[in-house]
Amino acid sequence: MNDTDYHLHVIAFDVPYPANYGGVIDVFYRIKALSEAGVKVHLHCFEYGRGEAEVLNRCHEVKYYKRDTSFWKQLRREPYVVASRRSEALVKDLLKDDYPILCEGLHTTAILTDHRLRNRKVFVRAHNVEHDYYRLLADSEPTFWKRWFYRAEARKLKRYEPILKRAAGIFAITPKDADYFNARYGHAIVVPGFSALSKVCSETGRGDYVLYHGNLSVVENRKAAEWLIEAVFSQLEIPCVVAGLNPPDSLKDACEPYANVTLKANLEDAEMMDLIRNAQVNVMVTDQPTGLKLKLLNALYNGRFCLVNDDMVRGTALDRLCVVAETPGQFIAEIQRLMEEDFTEDDIAERDEAMKELYQNDRNAELIITSVF
């Protein structure tokens, strides 16, 4: 393409570097793929703790805005995730030209309500059906005030979601989500998740431990880890590792009674990648069948066997590349079986072929470019 003709504003809900949790992994590698395809990306980031990232200066332009996380934003009729990212400075920057705009998540769509931008082409990357995601967070949350917040936010998001009618297009992360948005608002297409790799780099042979990894400060992941520790890992003699960001004390306490269970906190990216690659089994469970779990992509590209529950792969077409279990007994039996199997070159070739059908960053960037330009 002639890159002088293609400029795109991308509004990110967070600073997308380091790319160390699901949402920002998708954002960071999408920006990278679009830039490599010749698009001049004007990146706008809401910053609330991660700081500015020098690597993002590879974009054509980078701007940062402070997210307003004050308590009063929670009292608005608008969803907190949207209200806290409403920015006059952002609007003024967008009004300096007439380039199309890509909003990352419903979180950054406050601009769709601004009459000054009513004639702009605004596209939305939908990472989830957000009100379903928040409702499920509420169902998982043991703390009363957090449960109340998530339920209130789910109601607000459901009421707010029809703003998507004003978008020029919606890029859904799974076919299931695309069907949902098309039934209500139209103009949705599937653009699969973006990730660090486009080739399966798994190790052959066998590892000697089982791994669960995730952002352990997120209630969904913490509950999954606690369930695995108590119901599955505690019944095994095999070494089991739980790894991720910011584990709460309750998770440390859950690991303590079991000599075969180790907790590893806040590892560097390279250390986490080594854990994923060297594990014999990457175990992943969720009770939230929403969106796409990008840690599953990471494990499929880099790990050996992936053992998951049905909610982890529902609507993703990835179930054929994983072993699926539901009950503790099934997880225990499958782990014991998989620990005795070699992961072979044939396994890698089969997985690589299947992943290329769905998750090629350059091809998926072209889906966006074709839609926008």
Per-residue pLDDT tens for 178-190? 999 999 999 999 9
User: Residue 3's pLDDT is what?
Assistant: 44
Spatial separation of the C-alpha atoms in residues 273 and 226, rounded to whole Å = 22
pTM score, whole prediction: 0.80
Are the CB atoms for 187 and 207 separated by under 8 Å?
A: no
> pLDDT at residue 46 above 50?
yes
Domain for residue 87, yes or no? yes
* Residues 37 and 185 both lie in one domain: yes
Residues 180 and 92 grouped into a single domain: yes
274 and 140 in one domain? no
Phi, psi of 343 (to 5 degrees): -90, 120
Q: Are residues 75 and 143 in the same domain?
A: yes
194-242 tens-digit pLDDT: 887 778 999 999 999 999 999 898 888 999 999 999 999 999 999 999 9
Residue 263, strand partner residues: 242
348 inside domain: no
List the one residue out of 324, 318, 322 whose CA is nearest residue 303.
322
- Which domain, by its residues, includes 137? 3-196+360-372
Flag whether 82 is in a domain: yes
One domain for residues 333 and 368: no
Residues 188 and 284 both lie in one domain:
no
Q: State whether 50 and 175 are in the same domain.
A: yes
Task: Output the average pLDDT for the chain.
Answer: 93
Asked whether 371 and 169 are in contact (CB, 8 A), the reply is: yes
| pLDDT for position 297 | 86
Terminal CA-to-CA distance of the chain, rounded, Å? 11
241-279 residue pLDDT tens = 999 989 999 999 999 999 999 999 999 888 999 999 999
Residue 291 has pLDDT above 80, yes or no: no
What CATH number corresponds to the domain at position 134? 3.40.50.2000
Same domain membership, residue 57 and residue 19: yes
- Do 325 and 181 lie in one domain? The reply is no
Supply the pLDDT for residue 200.
93
Please tell me which residue, 12 or 315, carries the higher pLDDT value: 12
Query: With pLDDT > 70 as the criterion, what percentage of the chain qualifies?
Result: 98
What's the pLDDT score for residue 217? 87
Token pair recorded at residue 228 = 């695995």
Place 292 in a pLDDT band, splitting at 50, 70 and 90: low
Residue 308 lies in a domain: yes
Q: What's the Rg (C-alpha) of the chain?
A: 21
Distance separating alpha carbons of residues 230 and 236, to the nearest angstrom: 11
Residue 252 lies in a domain: yes
The answer to which of 151-165, 191-205, 286-300, 317-331 has the lowest mean pLDDT is: 286-300
Q: Which residues of 253-277 are buried (b: 16+ CB within 10 A; e: fewer)?
A: ebbeeeebbebeeebeeeebbebbb
Question: How far is CA 110 from its chain centroid?
Answer: 21
Q: Which residue has the higher pLDDT, 118 or 23?
A: 118
Same domain assignment for residues 221 and 191: no
Domain total in the chain = 2
pLDDT confidence of residue 321: 93
Beta-carbon contacts of 48 under 8 Å, excluding residues fewer than 6 positions away, are 14, 66, 67, 69
Least confident of 103-112, 215-224, 241-250, 323-332: 215-224
23 inside domain: yes
Q: What is the structure's pLDDT at 289?
A: 72
Interatomic CA distance for residues 285 and 356, integer angstroms: 24
- DSSP 3-state assignment of 344? coil
Same domain assignment for residues 153 and 101: yes
Look at residue 351 and tell me if it is in a domain: no
Both 191 and 214 in one domain: the answer is: no
Confidence band, pLDDT 50/70/90 cuts, at residue 63: very high
Within a domain: 354: no
